[in-house]
Amino acid sequence: MANYFRTVDNTKFGAILNKIIISILAVFSLYLIYLNFYYYLIDGNKRYTICTLLALSVFVLIHFLSCYIKISHRAFAIVIFLMVILSKGILIFFTDTKPVSDFAVFYQYAAKLLNGEKSFQDILYFKTWAYQTGPVIYYAALMKLFGTGLFPLKMANCFFMAGTNALIYLIAHKISNDFTARVVSILYLLYPAPYFLTTVLTNQHFAACMFLLSIYILLLKGQNWGVKSIAAGAVIALGNAVRPIGIIILAALILCGIIEKIANGKWLMLGSTILVLISCLLVSYGCSALVKYTGINSEGLANNFPLWKFVVGLNYETKGQFSFDDENNIFNIQDFNERDNAAKQVIKQRMSAGIRKLAVLINEKQKIMWAGTDSLSWGFYQKIDGQLVPSNQVKKIEPFVLKYEKIYYIFIFLLMFIGLFRILVNNKINQGILLLSLILLCYFGIHFFIEIQVRYRYFAVIIVFIMAAKGSEMLLCRCRGYRKNIKYIKEDNCE
């Protein structure tokens, strides 16, 4: 876009505005760190001591090695890509994960689509949430190209997860430097949580890779801003067709453009953002029209019940998680107009319960989504009598693995917080940092009000890893190899 890598040449008001945004993100990050420590670490469990020492050793070792590894920028991106393919691929060979829940629906109807069955609008699930036709087409296309069965779909997961890991490195390199970009990309490679979903037919892997690719395109220097904007918008649309959270990136871009206009009176960034929006909308409508034209789903890729996410997200009893009562009382209403009116009434009722009650709900949702323990259930449990049940082997290792993941998760948030503090102290806020910060704030903010699950934090945590590169700058300043080589990198200092 209009060079996102440059440090913002702000007016005094613009500098204050940018600092406010970074400060809000820093405060909220500190709040989430507190929640994680308070609810999961103060129990004094000995396992946490072991996990803490192990995670700390990993963080220190990776920081140390990154100072001395002699490898080119391009070669490292290729190496990290191949390492992800290898590590995730091994997991696929040694596990036999069967699709469950929505993932089973995706797989079942992808197979049907491959056999020529269409008219998905006849099924209530796809009539209501026609956008779920996107992942079905994605899986059907993979099965058409590489053969039926789960294996090619799981290998596609590996490929796009590898792309995500490489893009973490490339984007972190844009907002920081090569050494810190290596650190966070290797840290993400070793982060346990993505492995929990490696063998799961979730639409998150492809979408996350596309969204990161769009961000990387916007951060490219020396390219025509119009071409970048159009390309980024098209890539966002592709990711959104499989998992519709592209609105978060678009919202962050709009805010970024508005802030630039207010702060400096410049229209270029806002104009570029408008071009991204136009490109994204055109590609999105094109994809939806194609789904209709081919007879797969007459509803295209529409969301015919957007209110549902808010109905569930504002449920005080389930604390913003799925509610069977809401499903029976609202979702199952046959008349769509009557259903929408019922949903509006419930949302209005829950929103008017009082500021105090709403604040308590939002706080409880943060505990669940951002401080909640991850799960091995999606990828490593067995389905017995309709229930996901861990094997004896999984039961033995699960407590340790989840505690290690939790400590690792806290450390990466701490690293991002250190980076945000460093940004505020040094007053170096380039547009890449501002954009990523706004993406995180939009992600945090929308989940105040919509349905939550722990696995929904997948994409946000990726952005946290990228932002953590700024925290690594401060830690690496203690490393002689870093100080020796950093003089060649003008954007950084060890003051």
| Residue pLDDT, tens place only, 288-326 | 999 999 999 999 999 999 999 999 999 999 999 999 999
For residue 83, which amino acid is it? M
Which one, of 267, 262, 235, 236, lies nearest residue 251 by Cα?
A: 236
Between CA 86 and CA 90, with CA 88 as vertex, the angle to 5 degrees is 65
For residue 158, which amino acid is it? C
Which one, of 461, 441, 438, 437, lies nearest residue 372 by Cα?
A: 461
Torsion of CA 260, 266, 272, 277, to 10 degrees: 60
Cα torsion 261, 263, 268, 269: sign: negative
Residue 222 falls in which region: left (phi positive, over 0), alpha (psi -120 to 50) or beta? left
Number of H helices, E strands in the chain: 22, 2
> What tokens appear for 405 in the block?
């993941």
Residues 420, 428 contacting (CB under 8 angstroms): no
Q: Whats the size of the chain, residue-wise?
A: 495
Low-confidence ranges of the chain (pLDDT < 70): 1-10, 41-47, 478-495
Neighbours of 336 (CB within 10 A): 12
- Domain spans in the chain, listed from the N-terminal domain onward: 12-303+373-442+452-488
Instruction: List, in sequence order, every residue forming a beta bridge with 430; answer none if it has no partner.
Output: 7
> What tokens appear for 65 in the block?
């090695």
Confidence at residue 475, expressed as pLDDT on a 0 to 100 scale? 81
DSSP H helical ranges for 244-391: 246-264, 268-293, 307-313, 324-326, 336-351, 355-369, 377-380
Confidence at residue 7, expressed as pLDDT on a 0 to 100 scale? 47
Confidence at residue 174, expressed as pLDDT on a 0 to 100 scale? 94
Confidence at residue 39, expressed as pLDDT on a 0 to 100 scale? 74
> What distances in angstroms separate CA 362 from CA 22, 313, 346, one per listed residue?
21, 9, 17
Alpha-carbon distance of 306 to 154, in angstroms, equals 30
Which one, of 462, 440, 474, 429, lies nearest residue 175 by Cα?
A: 429
Residue 140 falls in which region: left (phi positive, over 0), alpha (psi -120 to 50) or beta? alpha
